[in-house]
């Protein structure tokens, strides 16, 4: 169920971690880490490649290619198994804590014999860690925080992991005979940022063939419940999937019910009761006679309650029902509305693919414009220089001529320093088509300083977009502690767009922040921040998040035709009037 690329990526990453904690060569660990990233982001299925093909992937040398081949042929990677056997399972559990590196995990095990999260919590509360070399009160605080993040994430998975599995299952079940309709529902259809379990719905006269096929899918690790109405499995990766089969006539009612959210459904059911009707997953009925009124489509059910069809991304009981009754639902931005991507990388910095490959991939996706925004020099490990970025600009201008339907923009991703200043002097910045500016360091400055820092960045006339504005990493790092209302007001006032970073580990801004920002009149940019061609497909998660924030195409600058976008990027009228259509 998982792409071989991702399986191998996970194995190589594990190997890198294991090398580190067993005191192995840090250089070797880094080489494996880099290869893992390259393979995970590689566009083609690696199981179709030979050793030579593998070595063409950046950062994959002979020894790694051989290990991968061995894994693809035998399903095993003995090198990993060997180091694995040297590391106790408890240490690996500790390493899963986001703020605890492999070395600290190993130190805890060797010096304090801690090999589980509960033992670690005990030791923290008894203040046993602070005497350890390399640990102190601040480390303790970080570790506690990391455990909190891990527990808050619970067993929820990133949306892309759930989507990949769901689409595969829907494809498998759709081809079975007797299948009239099949789709995923639940939080996945609503495009929530993380998914608890996947809900799949089938419309068919007979349920047994679907339930049986479902339990026999290749990625199934455990059948948790096997019934005629509902069957639940757990995949080898630990994700729960619920399958429900409803009679074809109940498709609309079933889809409406199992899409949720629960809060939205409760409201809808109240409306039905008010009209002396009863709503269930089988249809809308007269309460008294039990006679069925409608059940085949969601549209019919909403219509009978006096509502237009409500898009799933709005079904959170956040005012969508009142808006529907007033005929005031927003015309949500769609993936087809997006004309361009305004934040992407190449292998000139930390991207995995060269410029021309990224551009080709963007053109194949039908984009009308595409901005290359590699990292600026202050992120020193990326080793950007004036010469490199200017040479890249020339290459971009050349390539631009070769694509008839897609314009290329040359930009950069600046680093917002602790004072709110960015890389390069203003006159150098002026020659970029656009500048994204992001926070990449000093995350814990304190609320006032962080707020000022972001406002200063917005006030820079060369800064067009604030990249991943809160810098959160889902389940790993909380968002910056700043006064968002002040930042949102500054964006609106200065004509600076806020990014909706579509990477499934970020989805930053989040839906709720978007709702808040929109009230200030802020404009948004839904960007992939792609570091490989494959990442361009993450756009859908950014658009889903934008929809959950009630955005229309007009709110999103990268749906605009290029001339209008260019006027916005000129940041003229930044004394108050955001550029008009
Ligand atoms: P998740 O799985 O935590 O990401 O979130 P959902 O929304 O997918 O929740 P889930 O899987 O428990 O249930 C799927 C849908 O089924 C839910 O969105 C609405 C519907 N549903 C489940 N339980 C109830 C309930 O007790 N009342 C109502 N009205 N609907 C329910
Ligand atoms: Ca669910
Ligand atoms: Ca469920
Ligand atoms: Zn970036």
Q: What is the pLDDT of residue 355?
A: 97
Q: Please give the CATH number for the structural domain made up of 157-246.
A: 3.30.460.10
Confidence at residue 288, expressed as pLDDT on a 0 to 100 scale:
95
Query: What is the per-residue pLDDT across 219-267, written as a single tens digit (0 to 9) for each?
Result: 888 899 999 999 999 987 788 999 999 999 999 999 999 999 999 999 9
State the ligand closest to the CA atom of 374: 4
* CB of 79 shorter than 6 A to ligand 1: no
The pLDDT, as a whole number, for residue 577 is: 44
The C-alpha atoms of residue 548 and residue 192 are separated, in whole angstroms, by 8
For the chain, the structural domain boundaries read 1-87, 157-246, 257-325, 340-573
SS3 260: coil
| Protein residue closest via CA to atom 15 of ligand 1 | 258
Q: What is the pLDDT of residue 153?
A: 65
Q: Which of 161, 187, 474 to mutate to test the pocket of ligand 1 (most atoms within 8 A of CB)?
A: 187
Check pocket membership of 199 for ligand 1, CB cut-off 6 A: yes
CA of 236 to the centre of ligand 4 (A): 32
Q: Is 320 in the pocket of ligand 1 (CB under 6 A)?
A: no
| Degrees to nearest 5, angle at CA 70 with 67 and 75 | 115
How high is the pLDDT of residue 189?
Answer: 98
Q: Which atom of ligand 1 is nearest to the CA of 265?
A: 29
Q: For residue 169, how far is its CA from the centre of ligand 2 (angstroms)?
A: 15
Looking at the DSSP bridge assignments, the partners of residue 436 are 413, 465
Give the closest residue (by CA) to ligand 1 atom 13. Answer: 186
Give yes or no for residue 317 CB within 6 A of ligand 1: no
Query: Atom 5, ligand 1: which residue's CA is nearest?
Result: 187
Which stretches of the chain score pLDDT less than 70?
Answer: 1-2, 152-154, 572-581
Q: Are 345 and 389 in contact (CB under 8 A)?
A: no
Quote the pLDDT of residue 116.
82
Per-residue pLDDT tens digits for 196-222: 999 999 999 999 999 999 999 988 888
Q: Which residue has the CA at smallest separation from atom 26 of ligand 1?
A: 262
**CA R_g for the chain:** 26
CATH T-level assignment (fold) for domain 257-325:
Beta Polymerase; domain 3 (3.30.210)
Atom of ligand 1 nearest to the CA of 269: 29
Q: Give SS3 for 452.
A: helix
Domain 340-573 has CATH 3.90.79.10: no
pTM equals 0.82
Tell me the ligand closest to 501's alpha carbon.
4
What is the reported pLDDT for 578?
45
Q: What topology does CATH give the domain 1-87?
A: DNA polymerase; domain 1 (1.10.150)
What DSSP string runs through 407-434? EEEEEEEEE--TTS--SS-HHHHTTSSE
Report the alpha-carbon distance of residue 452 to residue 447 in Å, rounded. 9
Residue whose Cα lies nearest atom 10 of ligand 1: it is 186
Q: Which protein residue has the closest C-alpha to ligand 1 atom 22?
A: 262
Which of 262, 281, 313, 474 maximizes ligand 1 atoms within 8 Å of its Cβ, making it the mutation to test the pocket? 262
Taking all residues of the chain, what is their mean pLDDT, rounded to a whole number? Answer: 92
For residue 153, the Cα-to-chain-centroid distance in whole angstroms is: 14
The first and second tokens of residue 6, run together, are 């991702």
Taking the CA of 349 as reference, the closest ligand is 4
């Amino acid at each position: 169920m998982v792409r071989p690329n991702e399986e191998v990526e996970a194995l190589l990453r594990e190997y890198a971690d294991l090398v580190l904690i067993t005191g192995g060569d840090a250089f070797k660990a880094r080489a494996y880490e880099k290869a893992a990233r390259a393979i995970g982001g590689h566009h083609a299925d690696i199981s179709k490649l030979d050793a030579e093909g593998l070595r063409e992937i950046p950062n994959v040398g002979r020894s790694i290619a051989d290990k991968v081949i061995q894994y693809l042929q035998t399903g095993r990677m003995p090198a990993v198994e060997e180091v694995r056997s040297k590391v106790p399972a408890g240490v690996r559990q500790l390493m899963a804590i986001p703020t605890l590196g492999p070395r600290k995990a190993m130190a805890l095990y060797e010096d304090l014999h801690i090999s589980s999260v509960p033992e670690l919590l005990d030791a923290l509360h008894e203040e046993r860690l602070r005497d350890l070399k390399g640990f102190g009160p601040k480390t303790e605080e970080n570790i506690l925080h990391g455990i909190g993040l891990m527990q808050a994430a619970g067993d929820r998975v990133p949306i892309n992991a759930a989507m990949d599995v769901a689409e595969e299952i829907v494809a498998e079940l759709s081809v079975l005979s007797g299948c009239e309709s099949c789709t995923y529902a639940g939080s996945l259809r609503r495009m929530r940022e993380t998914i608890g379990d996947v809900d799949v719905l089938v419309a068919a006269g007979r349920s047994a063939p679907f339930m049986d096929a479902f339990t026999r899918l290749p990625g199934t690790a455990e059948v948790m419940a096997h019934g005629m109405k509902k069957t639940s499995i757990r995949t080898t990766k630990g994700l729960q999937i619920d399958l429900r089969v409803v009679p074809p006539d109940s498709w609309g009612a079933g889809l409406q019910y199992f899409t949720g959210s629960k809060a939205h459904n409760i409201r809808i059911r109240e409306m039905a009761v008010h009209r002396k009707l009863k709503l269930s997953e089988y249809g809308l009925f007269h309460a008294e006679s039990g006679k069925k009124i409608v059940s085949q489509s969601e549209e019919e059910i909403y219509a009978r309650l006096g509502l237009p069809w409500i898009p799933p991304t709005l079904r959170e009981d956040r005012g969508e029902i009142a808006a529907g009754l007033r005929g005031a639902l927003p015309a949500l931005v769609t993936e087809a509305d997006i004309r361009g991507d305004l934040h992407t990388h190449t292998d000139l910095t930390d991207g995995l693919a060269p410029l021309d490959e990224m551009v080709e991939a963007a053109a194949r996706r039908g984009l009308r414009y595409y901005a290359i925004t590699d990292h600026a020099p202050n992120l020193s490990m990326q080793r950007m220089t004036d010469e490199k970025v200017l040479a890249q600009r020339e290459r971009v201008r050349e390539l631009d001529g070769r694509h008839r339907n897609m314009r290329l923009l040359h930009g950069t991703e600046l680093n917002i320093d602790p004072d709110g200043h960015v890389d390069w002097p203003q006159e150098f910045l002026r020659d970029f088509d656009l500048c994204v500016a992001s926070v990449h360091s000093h995350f814990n400055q304190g609320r006032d300083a962080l707020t000022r820092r972001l406002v200063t960045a917005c006030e820079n006339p060369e800064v067009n977009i604030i990249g991943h504005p809160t810098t959160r990493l889902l389940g790993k790092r909380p968002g910056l502690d700043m006064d968002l209302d002040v930042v949102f007001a500054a964006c609106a006032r200065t004509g600076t767009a806020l990014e909706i970073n579509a990477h499934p580990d970020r989805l930053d801004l989040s839906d709720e922040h978007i709702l808040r920002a929109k009230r200030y009149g802020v404009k948004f940019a839904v960007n992939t921040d792609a570091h490989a061609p494959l990442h361009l497909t993450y756009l859908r998660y950014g658009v889903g998040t934008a929809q959950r924030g009630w955005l229309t195409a007009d709110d999103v600058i990268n749906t605009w035709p290029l001339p209008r976008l260019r006027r916005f990027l000129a940041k003229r009228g930044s004394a108050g009037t955001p550029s008009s259509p």
